[in-house]
Chain A
Amino acid sequence: MDIIKTTSIALVALRLNAMRSFLTMLGIIIGIASVIVMVSVSSGSKQEIEAQIDRLGSNVLSIRPGARMMGGRHGGSGTAAPLTEKHIKSLRNKFAFIEGISGSISATVPAVYGNNNWTTSVIGIHADYISVRQWVIEEGRNFTEREVKSGGKVALVGQDIIDKLFDGASPLGARIRIKNIPFTVIGTLQAKGASNWGRSYDDVIFIPISTSRMRVSGRQARSVPDNIGNLYLTVNLDRDIGIAEEDLREFLREIRKIAPGAQDDFNVANFSEFIRARNETSATLGLLLAATAAIALVVGGIGIMNIMLVSVTERTREIGLRLAVGARRKDILNQFLVEAVTLCLIGSLVGVALGVGTGELVKRLVDIPVLLNIPIIFIAISSAALVGIFFGFYPARKASRMNPIDALRYE
């Protein structure tokens, strides 16, 4: 009795009990469908995180001045000596792997255009900032080196500013006032959307860093003549970002004259790691849900066992007949095993379809990122087959141990 014969016997038997077969599969269908949905949602959010990292730049490092040690105690963050234009120069000279580097001094101040008034984040930058932080100039142009150095009164505006100050009209060439200083808008920025902190990235105005230092940000920035606030740089993708981070740290310790063994008075941070860490919990939660769904699969398996047991009892006469016409115990065992596995496989296929469909629906209706995970589909189908063998075995063995005449006489 080969596998094809056994399968065809089992398939005919399943067709004979179509309704029962469907109900038996229900547990597996639901189990598999929920595994697929959970994993898809989890992979979707993981993909979303990676996309976010890409948007911020996976090769971006930020350097901030840290705490100064004051008599063995920490001062607040930013109390250490600020980063300056000199730092930028020496870093550029030292490391060829730096692709772009820029300071960033931010202030939250009102901007005025005509009768419109909007308090926004005004950030003083070097020209490199645009590419380092993955901004794209939509209209107009970036700052020139000259404007950056000589305190040019020019500005780049984000999409939200166009809406708030210019009521959506093109702002190119317009003059806005920030702290009563007139700035000419020379460019607009492509939209970036909301950050996952809830704030819009596009609610921003960029101005040359020297202008910001001297006229817009507070006194603290002014106190050091070439303060650059925080520092952002991109590392050449050929270079391992972890190693680059370490090189930068060592060099900064050197030029900032930090005694061996003493703590850094600055922080080097890797953006992507920061975001990954933030989102680790959500990924874990997704896996937890998938584990719950896997338990649903086991419960589905127990359902299969349950109904197969009932089915074996109900089909006692059929089993008796098969034994009477020459089926061996092994044949009966295999038939019921194949029935259980077939139920699980068909159930898992229906479950996959249902899961994929539900995922698609969730994506459209709830606007949650959903990513279909192909390997998981194969894993789901094969684990369903295993569930079939495991939970089908006991009922199948029960069927195969029947005595022909008792089975035939069974009412």
Chain B
Amino acid sequence: MDKVLIECRSLCKDYHMGGETIHALRNVSLQIHKGEYVAIMGPSGSGKSTLMNLVGALDVPSRGDLLVNGVNLAGQSSDQLANFRNHTIGFVFQQFNLLARTTALENVKLPLLYSHDKNPGDLTRRATEALERVGLADRMDHETTQLSGGQQQRVAIARALVNRPSMILADEPTGALDTKTSIEILDLFQELNDAGITLMVVTHDPEVAEVSKRNLMFRDGEIIDDLIVAQGAGS
């Protein structure tokens, strides 16, 4: 078995709404190894996004521990967390979250601008390579608003890839796309996983479940099913 990349130990997340407490995550314990392709499924409100946000260090757990490469995120400074988001994680959002009136290339460059690499190399070249990898080399200088939904999501994936992260977290990446485009994005994920990138993808789409290597099923803030699929079942 490959080395453990993410480890959740009794992870809890509560939201307080007025007098009420919503338990979005209840004691989730989980290990994700390097190179895995995990599909996270479950009904709406079951805590999938909550888990992704914790793993991506966008939010902090109420209780429990989250370790990445054996390092507990709870003990990290805000700068260290920023560095973690920059180098270790690439986040892909359902709504793309691109900067408007900015070219694809500039969007992809964004994480590089915040990178602390001693030797970053040519930023434009690296961003171009990332765009080539998602098949958008010819659209580099287009503003994001001039791109289709699928193309915008590719730009977002290129942005997630550009800093060579160990892991890509995607929260319903195909949620805003039609079926055909969704399949293209999923093929791209497959390629990335084949290249060794760990993937965690939240989805309602059974297609994803088919191509992924592992399916996590959520309900009411708990994992109710953890299914390891036979290698390459989808291909």
Contact = CB atoms under 8 A, between A and B. Distances in A.
A322 B91 CA distance: 11
B179 interface: no
B59 A405 contact: yes
- Most chain A CB neighbours (cut-off 10 Å) among B58, B86, B163: B58
Contact of A328 (B101, B114, B159): B114
Interface stretch (B4-12, B25-33, B61-69, B75-83): B75-83
A310 interface: no
Nearest to B97: A321
B82 A328 contact: yes
A403 B110 CA distance: 19
Given A1-B113, A1-B114, A318-B99, A326 B58 contact: no
Contacts, number: 67
A330 B97 CA distance: 22
B102 to A, nearest CB: 7
A130 B106 CA distance: 76
A326 B163 contact: yes
Interface string B161-205: 001000000000000000000000000000000000000000000
A325 B91 contact: yes
A405 B91 CA distance: 12
Interface residues of A, number: 24
Interface string B70-113: 00000000110011011100010100010111100010001101
Given A12-B102, A16-B102, A327 B58 contact: no
B114 A16 contact: no
Main secondary structure of the interface of A (DSSP, over half): helix
Contacts of B78: 328-329
Interface in A50-91: none
Contacts of A380: none
Contact of A405 (B58, B101, B106, B110): B58
Contacts of A330: 79
Interface string A6-30: 0011001001100000000000000
B42 interface: no
B97 A326 contact: no
A16 B86 contact: no
B99 A16 contact: yes
Given A16-B99, A405-B53, A408-B97, A326 B106 contact: no
Contacts of A331: 82, 114
Nearest to B57: A404
Given A1-B114, A326-B87, A12 B56 contact: no
A408 to B, nearest CB: 7
A402 to B, nearest CB: 11
A324 B83 contact: no
A403 B159 CA distance: 21
Contacts of A9: 113
A325 B110 contact: yes
B86 A326 contact: yes
Nearest to A401: B78
B59 A325 contact: no
A331 B111 CA distance: 12
A327 B97 CA distance: 15
A329 B81 CA distance: 11
Given A323-B85, A324-B58, A403-B59, 10 more contacts: A5-B113, A15-B101, A16-B101, A321-B97, A321-B110, A323-B82, A325-B110, A326-B86, A328-B79, A329-B79
Closest 8 CB pairs of A and B: A326-B86, A328-B82, A325-B111, A405-B59, A326-B114, A405-B58, A404-B58, A327-B114
Interface of B: 53, 56-59, 78-79, 82-83, 85-87, 91, 93, 97, 99-102, 106, 110-111, 113-115, 159, 163
27 contacts: A9-B113, A12-B106, A15-B101, A16-B99, A16-B100, A16-B101, A321-B97, A321-B99, A321-B110, A322-B110, A323-B82, A324-B56, A324-B85, A325-B110, A326-B85, A326-B86, A326-B87, A326-B115, A327-B82, A328-B78, A328-B79, A328-B82, A329-B79, A329-B82, A331-B114, A404-B57, A408-B93
